[in-house]
Amino acid sequence: MLLQQVKVFIQQLSNPFGFLQYRVNEIDKAIHLSEQNEMDEEQTGDHRYHEKEKNLEKVFDNYALKVHAIVAPSLKQDQVSHADHIHWDKALLGCLWTYLLLTVFASLARPDFMSLTAISLAFLVLHFPTQHGRRTFRMITVFLVITFVYDLLWLFILRSSEAEDAEMAGRGQLIRWFAHLNAWLSFFFRIVVIAIFWKVSLHYTQVVKRQAGVVESNDQALDRIMNRYSNLEGNR
């Protein structure tokens, strides 16, 4: 027993930061296990309507290829023969930033906290994918659908034009017109945002976690952690 304790003590002296290495290895195992579970869910599905969802994805891919064939020349991009070759990561970020701008301008007429919350959560998941996985991303997609329904009710039922005219008379009418224009643009553009979010959620590990330049990969994160602790140990 004593010899075993002495052996452990010597190992700790030779590698005083060994517990940090152990902790990093445990985090690495947990990350890879989570990724494997997400990949299995993408292949086999996590609900009973997985096959129908995949069939719907094929229909969406056909429309996406047609749209890409139209916009690709103006964006100076090559034509693709399969929807998986489309840069969904760039399309996702572009739609998200556009949705944010439209929401900010639409908020001049009324506070749109639901859309701003959905956008903030989406950016959070995209920049920290290891802390927030595929299911969280799909929940945000559902949240975007809820914001679409909410705006549908507000634009067609809850909004009172007479009250707004009385509240924002004179030069305020121009601001109100501009805000409502962006509200309508945001409402219809939300369909595109939801569609792309749904598409990306079906291939979350490939599009979000493994696309270079979009988010930090797990290996890069571990290297960054180890380098930080190595620098601390070197400074001491």
Q: How far from 53 is each of 86, 87, 105, CA to CA, in Å?
A: 20, 21, 34
Q: What is the pLDDT of residues 171-204, one digit of tens each?
A: 567 888 888 899 999 999 999 999 999 998 888 8
The answer to whether the CB of 196 falls within 8 A of the CB of 91 is yes
**Per-residue pLDDT at 160:** 60
Q: Cα separation of 73 and 179, whole Å? A: 32
Give pTM, 2 decimals: 0.69
**Per-residue pLDDT at 116:** 94
Which residues in the chain land under pLDDT 70? Answer: 1-45, 73-81, 84, 159-172, 209-236
**Per-residue pLDDT at 146:** 95
The answer to whether the CB of 155 falls within 8 A of the CB of 183 is yes
The answer to whether the CB of 161 falls within 8 A of the CB of 210 is no
**Per-residue pLDDT at 194:** 95
Q: What is the pLDDT of residues 142-156, one digit of tens each?
A: 999 999 999 999 888
Q: Cα separation of 62 and 20, whole Å? A: 49
Q: In which region does residue 115 sit, left (phi positive, over 0), alpha (psi from -120 to 50) or beta (all else)? A: alpha
Residue found under tokens 């760039």: 90
The answer to whether the CB of 205 falls within 8 A of the CB of 38 is yes
Domain map (residue ranges) of the chain: 87-217
**Per-residue pLDDT at 35:** 65
